[in-house]
Structure 1
Amino acid sequence: MGILTDEELIQRLAKSKMSNKKISSSSSFKNKALQKELLIVLLIYSYIEKWLNCDKNKPLYSYKGNEDLRREIAKGEDTITVLTIAKIY
């Protein structure tokens, strides 16, 4: 799997959304409109761990439903750290 652009990341997350999960994300995306769109993303529970590491060759992070989740996304020469907070509503 290659490095995702902002647009590809948004599309991937949009395909995984469901109303029972809210992922609030902050990032250093240069495209502020896409950053705002990414701010609140809904994900199916079973996809959260897959999403966390879909671009990295590391073991999946454990998700227990209430802790902060962290993921690094490699983009070009920059590595962007996306902090996510997952809450069950």
Structure 2
Amino acid sequence: MKRGGSFFWGVILGTMAGLIMGILLAPRKEEKIKNILGKKTEELRDNLQEISKKIGQKVHRIKSDFEARWKKNKIEKEKMDQVEDELGT
């Protein structure tokens, strides 16, 4: 009976030791995972900001080109209207 009792106490003590070690080591793993996730989130945010900046530049360029063409066409239309008025057509 003594051997059975020793085995039982060994299982209980081993379980408790494993539980304590798990509790002590788990926060470190969670902290490491949080650090990794934090870094990846920061990288993603930086990448999205860079992409947003590039898109903004392209939109500005397209808008400027459109405005320049609009003004050019408007001036050409005004010139055509002037010529038509001079010709009386």
> Taking structure 2 as the reference length, what is the TM-score of the superposition?
0.16
* Greater relative CO (CA pairs within 8 A, separation 6+): 1
Q: Which has the higher helix share?
A: 2
The structure having more radius of gyration, on CA atoms, is: 2
Q: Which has the higher strand share?
A: 1
